[in-house]
């Protein structure tokens, strides 16, 4: 065992470039599946939300063997919202496979994940994926990636990266466009040739490793996951737990596991270079150092980028509170958020300053980062109310406010570009580039993050679903001034009961409905969008008054336009400061912060 070579690799890319598909192929050709085992696509995306959304949210480890060499593979998220996962995982790998679409080329989030790898001194392997596309432009894309390396300040050695070409869904990688292949052998060969294996002489040094991820097992308790930097770690041995603040305490590892295929296998010892999972240390945290008693200095702390957005997680106070949820109190919320903090290092939780409101201020890396947490809580049986997302500002040396910016790349049919460009300009966006092929326009904007809250649904409507928008963080710039928010008001129910087709039919003339017939509503619940800029109090529960006289033609069956049903992300983007999203295991509702007309009049100018 002490002679076995170990290589750790990460697959990094923009969303939808084919990361999870490539990992599937690596596992399949690396012998991770038994002959009779059912193979599931995107097998590493094991979380329900990952499968439903089609994205990777949590980085995960697996291991295969190639030519007697153990290769640990880390599948990383492509969304900048989950940057905290990417940042700490990069420290556990020897090289990265940078996956780039042969047609799209490097996208904004490609820049983000690549920058993290270059900063740590890793030399990437470039894999141009989807070369079977009709609009592939692989050679141009290689030049674009080279320019990106130069922009990010890559070293001379990093600039001399190896380029491969492939079709991940078919499990094919080739060394150049002209030399066909039938498997991933060229990729495996390149990995072994470039890395060679973890230095064996480090196995003779005193044991040391840093915790990069946490897990939980109902039988073993809290799990610490990380790469062994030096020496050999053994089960049931005494070690020191070194915290970043300089404190230390003796600990014993009760259970030790390594990755083998898709499974965790118990072992008695693991070597330097391997990724291990250990149990028995109850208060272990990300960034902690586990080491031999002779080691006294902890490793450098893992630096995580600061949050850019916050939302208030409040106790649900609607008239329907507690009907379907199991966890509804502030104590339940506090316990759940504290559990999340243990494994989600990109998150921050603060108590609300206003003592009249029960809840917490939760800070994260973006709307998606926070909405994934909310969706997880909803599925676990929590009920809560969420406030409008707020962007977090910084200040410069002169105490002037700085706000986070986003780089946005938009591709859309030419006939819709005028409307979209006009809206981006109104939101204080600055156009960086524009290109057109006659049928579709591509624009690149630098725009404040707060201007994009609520823009995606408008963009989808304006482009009739044919537009594509990708975005990534683009630093901080001086405050851009006031930006107009939602132009339309809302229709607010002034009565409680079930909605009726007769009243909804009348309300359709006033705007867009968010509820259908026979939906239970309460006073203060938002039932639709008003066609004008002001809020409108309505009664969606009104029935037709019955008389003895039948009027000709008016008693026919009422036909309603399909209502607009919002998902969680759309609801969070839509609301204003005086509104909340009510989240329960079964329903997502929009409501006013103050439910009655009198309360709203009293607090008209009192925003959160």
Which helix (H) or strand (E) segment holds residue 8: the answer is strand 6-13
Q: Could you tell me the two tokens for 111?
A: 């820049």
The verdict on 496 and 449 lying in the same domain is no
Beta carbons of 73 and 100 less than 8 angstroms apart: no
Distance CA(26)–CA(293), nearest Å, equals 39
pLDDT at 43: 42
At residue 606, the pLDDT reads 59
Cα 319 from Cα 257, distance rounded (Å):
49
Distance from C-alpha of 255 to C-alpha of 264, rounded to nearest angstrom = 11
Tell whether residue 446 is among the known ligand binding residues: no
Is residue 462 included in any domain, yes or no? Answer: yes
* Same domain membership, residue 251 and residue 171: no
Residues 145 and 268 occupy one common structural domain:
no
CA distance 577 to 593: 8
pTM of the model: 0.75
CB 449 within 8 A of CB 403: yes
Check whether residue 30 and residue 166 sit in a common domain: yes
The answer to whether 317 touches 387, Cβ cutoff 8 Å, is no
Domain end: 271, 291, 311, which one? Answer: 291
Cβ pair 470, 407 in contact under 8 A = no
**Is residue 154 part of an annotated ligand binding site?**
no
**Where does a domain end: 291, 308, 339?**
291
pLDDT for 298? 85
| Assigned domain for 516 exists | yes
| Phi-psi region at 18: left, alpha or beta (left = phi > 0; alpha = psi -120 to 50) | left
* Residues 494 and 592 both lie in one domain: yes
| 526 annotated ligand binder | no
Cβ 324 vs Cβ 382: under 8 Å: no
User: Tokens in use for 289?
Assistant: 């150092």
Does a structural domain hold residue 340? Answer: no
Residue 117 is assigned to a ligand binding site: no
Q: How far apart are CA 483 and CA 386, in angstroms?
A: 22
Contact 288, 242 (CB under 8 A): yes
- Is residue 257 situated within a structural domain? yes
Q: Does 25 map to a domain? A: yes
169 and 226: one domain? no
Same-domain check for residues 474 and 503: no
Mention every residue, 6+ apart, whose C-beta is less than 8 A from residue 154: 118
What is the Cα–Cα distance from 51 to 21, expressed in whole angstroms? 13
Domain containing residue 87: CATH number: 3.40.50.300
The pLDDT of residue 556 is 57
CATH number, position 286? 2.40.30.10
- The verdict on whether residue 18 carries a ligand-binding annotation is yes
Q: Is 17 annotated among the ligand-binding residues?
A: yes
143/222 same-domain check: no
15: in domain: yes
Contact 576, 592 (CB under 8 A): no
Do residues 426 and 572 share a domain?
no
Q: Which domain holds residue 89?
A: 6-197
Residue 56's contacts (CB-CB under 8 Å, 6 or more residues apart) are: 19, 20, 44, 45, 50, 75, 76, 77, 78, 82
Residues 102 and 240 in one domain: no
Number of domains the chain contains: 4
Annotated ligand binding at 512? The verdict is: no
Per-10-residue mean pLDDT of the chain, 608 residues long, equals: 76 76 82 45 45 48 82 69 63 87 80 81 90 88 90 89 90 88 89 84 88 78 86 89 84 88 84 88 83 86 79 92 90 89 81 79 84 88 92 88 88 90 92 87 91 84 84 85 85 93 90 92 94 92 74 63 87 89 93 90 66
Handedness of CA 56, 61, 66, 69 (dihedral sign): positive
The pLDDT, as a whole number, for residue 457 is 79
Residue 555, domain CATH? 2.40.50.250
Q: Is residue 557 part of a domain?
A: yes
- Out of 478, 508, 526, a domain closes at 478
The DSSP-derived string for 486-506 is ----EEEE-S-EE--HHHHHH
Q: Are 14 and 50 in contact (CB under 8 A)?
A: no
- Considering the domain architecture, whether residues 85 and 178 belong to the same structural domain is answered as yes
Rounded Cα distance between 36 and 255, Å, is 30
pLDDT at 85 (0 to 100): 62
Q: Which pLDDT value is given to residue 31?
A: 65
pLDDT on residue 58: 47
DSSP 303-365: P-PPP-EEEEEE---STTTTSS-SB-SHHHHHHHHHHHHHH-TT-EEEE-S-TTS-EEEEEES
Residue 598: helix, strand or coil by DSSP? helix
Residue 310 lies in a domain: no
Give residues with Cβ within 8 angstroms of 487, minimum separation 6. 533
Same domain, 181 and 222: no
Q: Which residue has the tokens 């008695």?
A: 268
> Strand 6-13 relative to strand 95-101: parallel, antiparallel, unpaired?
parallel
Q: What pLDDT does 82 receive?
A: 53
Q: Is 20 annotated as a binding residue?
A: yes
């Amino acid at each position: 065992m002490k002679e076995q070579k170990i290589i750790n690799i990460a697959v990094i890319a923009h969303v939808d470039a084919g990361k999870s598909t490539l990992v599937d192929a690596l596992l399949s050709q690396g012998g991770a599946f038994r002959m009779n085992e059912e193979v599931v696509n995107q097998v590493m995306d094991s979380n329900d939300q990952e499968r439903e959304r089609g994205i990777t949210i949590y980085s995960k480890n697996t291991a295969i063997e190639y030519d007697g060499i153990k290769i640990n593979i880390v599948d990383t998220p492509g969304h900048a919202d989950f940057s905290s996962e990417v940042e700490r995982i990069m420290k556990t790998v020897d090289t990265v496979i940078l996956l780039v679409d042969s047609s799209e080329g490097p996208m904004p989030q490609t820049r983000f994940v690549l920058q993290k790898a270059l900063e740590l001194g890793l030399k990437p392997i470039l894999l141009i994926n989807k070369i079977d596309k009709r609009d592939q432009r692989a050679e141009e894309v290689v030049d674009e990636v080279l320019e990106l390396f130069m922009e990010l300040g890559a070293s001379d050695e990093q600039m001399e990266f190896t380029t491969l070409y492939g079709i991940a869904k078919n499990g094919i990688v080739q060394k150049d466009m002209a030399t066909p292949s039938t498997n991933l052998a060229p990729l495996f060969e390149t990995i072994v040739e470039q890395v060679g294996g973890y230095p064996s002489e480090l196995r003779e040094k005193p044991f040391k490793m840093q915790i990069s991820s946490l897990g939980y097992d109902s039988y073993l308790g809290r799990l610490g996951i990380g790469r062994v930097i030096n020496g050999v770690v053994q089960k049931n041995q005494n070690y020191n737990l070194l915290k970043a603040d300089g404190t230390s305490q003796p600990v014993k590892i009760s259970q030790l596991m390594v990755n083998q295929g898709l499974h965790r296998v118990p072992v008695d010892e693991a070597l330097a270079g391997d990724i291990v999972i250990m149990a028995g240390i109850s208060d272990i945290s990300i960034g902690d150092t586990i080491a031999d008693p002779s080691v006294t200095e902890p490793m450098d702390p893992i630096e995580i980028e600061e949050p850019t957005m916050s939302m208030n997680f409040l106790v649900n106070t609607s008239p329907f509170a507690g009907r379907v949820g199991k966890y509804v109190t502030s104590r339940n919320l506090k316990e759940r958020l504290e559990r999340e903090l243990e494994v989600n290092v990109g998150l921050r939780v603060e108590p609300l300053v206003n003592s009249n409101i029960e809840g917490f201020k939760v800070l994260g890396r973006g709307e998606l980062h926070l909405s994934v947490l909310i969706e997880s809580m909803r599925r676990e049986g929590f009920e809560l109310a969420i406030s409008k997302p707020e962007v977090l500002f910084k200040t410069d040396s002169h105490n002037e406010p700085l706000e986070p910016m986003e780089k946005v790349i938009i591709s859309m049919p030419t006939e819709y570009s005028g409307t979209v460009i006009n809206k981006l300009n109104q939101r204080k966006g600055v156009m960086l580039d524009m290109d057109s092929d006659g049928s579709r326009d591509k624009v690149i904007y630098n725009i404040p993050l707060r201007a994009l809250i609520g823009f995606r649904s408008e963009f989808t409507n304006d482009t009739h679903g044919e537009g594509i928008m990708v975005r990534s963080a683009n630093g901080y710039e001086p405050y851009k001034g006031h930006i107009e928010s939602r132009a339309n008001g809302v229709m607010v129910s002034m009565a409680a009961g079930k909605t009726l087709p007769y009243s909804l039919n009348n309300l359709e003339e006033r705007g867009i409905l968010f509820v259908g017939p026979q939906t239970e509503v309460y006073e203060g619940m938002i039932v639709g969008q008003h066609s004008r800029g002001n809020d409108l109090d309505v009664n969606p529960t009104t029935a037709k008054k019955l008389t003895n006289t039948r009027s000709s033609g008016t008693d026919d069956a009422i036909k309603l336009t399909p209502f607009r049903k919002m998902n969680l992300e759309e609801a969070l983007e839509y609301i204003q400061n005086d509104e909340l999203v009510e989240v329960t295991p079964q329903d997502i509702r929009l409501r006013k912060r103050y439910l009655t007309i009198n309360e709203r009049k009293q607090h008209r100018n009192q925003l959160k």
